[in-house]
Amino acid sequence: MASLSSLPKSISESPCSAIMGSLFDTSFVRQNLSIPGSGFRYAPLKIKGRPCMETKVAPGTLQTTDFSDSVLFDVPILSGSEVMERLKANRENIKGKQLFLAMYSSIFGGITTDPATMVIPMDDHMVHRGHGVFDTAAIMDGYLYELEQHINRFLRSASMAKISLPFDRETIRSILIQTVSASKCRQGSLRYWLSAGPGDFQLSPSGCQQPALYAIVIQDQSPPNWKGVKVFSSSIPIKPPQFAIMKSVNYLPNVLSKMEAEKDGGYAAIWLDDDGYVAEGPNMNVAFVTKEKELLMPSFDKILSGCTARRVLALAEELVKEGKLSGIQVRNVTVEEGKTASEMMLIGSGVLVRPVLQWDEHLIGNGKEGPVAEALLNLILEDMKNGPTAVRVSVPQ
């Protein structure tokens, strides 16, 4: 039977009421808020103009440290112009490898080239509920590569996510092209989103006034790298097919998978589907070349249908004609087939074609970049630069 001391206390005797009456009683803080290993931090505040005590607990101990004279942090209330000044200053202090050259937002109905103003509302359901989809198209020599194919997948994803369109397809296409034109970018990428839109912080999008379209032009200043990489099998569960085939903004499994691989010194992690077949990487497809020189790619029925991967499959027909490949198959691929292949590669709009030299502890082929991966990379680069109008859309400058 529980003792009386273990029963719930009345409100007047609860820790909450004790806190309210003991804000400056350091003995209370030590007795009630010293939790072994919790790393509790009693943050400094001002209450009625008086400083509160700051108490820290060293991890794994019951020790507390008092900082009666600690510096207090007053949160300022800013005007709109002051917010803009701080946004600009913050953006100028960020020294990343990517430049953001232009952004379109249907919220303000235009294009901005000031990175500090490239923001979206917090009450947009894409932000706080993940109710949004996106896609990306590469920019090569002032042309958008496979824009039509990416827009088609973008709209399919929106339909699956039950997001209505703020504009028709041609208007969306025109907005995307105009955004790239305003950026004056000739080498980079265009990323764009459709969301349920802003409105409230509820779960249902019924309070959203209208869906929102955003687009941003990104110029990556990192030099291209085609060297072979190491990959690992992911321990992060793969998305169910219903969500895996949709390019939504719900990328937490993808992020965790990527982080897992990087922690172990790898470039990416490889997912297997529920039946144990090879699926995909965190943001790229995967392909293999068998010892019989056959190009294998996992079926797209449970994973994202990669636009670049499908284009590579079409371009690979040229290697069949040249005798560098004996054939091409899209089917279920076992892990054993993958790890004993002559070549393995990652394929996507970001990596294009990246050779894989090692998967877990298994060397792929001879552990060096293979001839088919190199040939496919050259084919896709040539296609991006001089391909047919079906895959290259000119951007007015």
pLDDT tens, residue by residue, 173-229: 999 999 999 999 999 999 999 999 999 999 999 999 999 999 999 999 888 889 999
15-43: average pLDDT: 41
**What letter would DSSP give residue 8?**
P
Spacing of C-alpha 177 from chain mean position: 23
Quick one: pLDDT band at residue 235, thresholds 50, 70, 90? very high
Percentage with pLDDT > 90 across the chain = 79
Whether the CA torsion 384, 385, 391, 393 is positive or negative: it is positive
Please give the domain boundaries of the chain with CATH numbers for all domains: 9-66 (no CATH), 95-220 (3.30.470.10), 231-386 (3.20.10.10)
Q: Is the pLDDT of residue 248 over 90?
A: yes
Which residues, including other chains, have CB under 8 Å from residue 376's CB and lie 6 or more apart? 312, 315, 316, 319, 345, 347, 353
State how far the Cα of 229 lies from the Cα of 363, in Å rounded to an integer.
11
More confident residue, 68 or 226: 226
Buried residues in 112-150 as b, exposed as e (16+ CB within 10 A): beebbebebeeebbbbebebbbbbbbbbbebbbbbbbbb
Q: Whole-angstrom Cα distance, residue 86 to residue 89?
A: 5
Q: What is the mean pLDDT of residues 12-28?
A: 42
pLDDT digits (tens, 9 = 90+) for 255-309: 999 999 999 999 999 999 999 999 999 999 999 999 999 999 999 999 999 999 9
- 134 vs 53, more confident: 134
Q: Which two tokens stand for residue 370?
A: 């293979």
Q: What pLDDT was estimated at residue 149? A: 98
Averaged pLDDT, 100-107: 98
- The pLDDT mean for the chain works out to 87
- Concerning whether 247 is annotated as a catalytic residue, the answer is yes
Nearest partner of 238 among 250, 222, 221, judged by Cα? 250
H or E element that contains 177: helix 169-183
Q: In what order do the strands lie in the sheet with 187-195?
A: 110-112, 98-105, 212-220, 187-195, 132-140, 143-145, 392-394
**Nearest residue to 171 (alpha-carbon basis) of 202, 192, 143:** 192
- CA-to-CA distance for 180 and 189, rounded, in angstroms? 9
Could you read off the pLDDT of 301-325 as tens digits, one per residue? 999 999 999 999 999 999 999 999 9
Tokens 């089917």 -> residue? 331
| Torsions phi, psi for 154 (to 5 deg) | -55, -45
What digits encode the pLDDT tens for the residues 351-367? 999 999 999 999 999 99
Q: In the beta sheet, which residues pair with residue 288?
A: 296, 344
Annotated catalytic residue, options 239, 247, 258, 302: 247
Q: What per-residue confidence (pLDDT) applies to 315?
A: 98
Comparing 29 with 161, the larger pLDDT belongs to 161
Half-sphere exposure of 198 (CA within 13 A, CB side): 11
- d(CA 135, CA 330) in angstroms, rounded, equals 23
CB 87 within 8 A of CB 169: no
Written as six digits, the tokens of 314 are 């079409």
Query: Lowest-pLDDT range, 28-37, 54-63, 196-205, 232-241?
Result: 28-37
| Per-residue confidence (pLDDT) for residue 99, from 0 to 100 | 96
pLDDT computed for residue 70 by the predictor:
59
Give the pLDDT confidence of 114-153 residue by residue, as tens digits.
Answer: 999 999 999 999 999 999 999 999 999 999 999 999 999 9
Q: Of residues 229 and 19, which shows the higher confidence score?
A: 229
pLDDT band at 59 (very low <50, low <70, confident <90, very high): low
Cβ atoms 163, 106 nearer than 8 A: no
pLDDT at site 73: 79
Q: Decide: helix, strand or coil at residue 385.
A: helix
Residue 7: is its pLDDT beyond 50? no
For residues 65-80, average pLDDT: 75
Structure confidence at residue 72 (pLDDT): 74
Average pLDDT over residues 7-24: 41
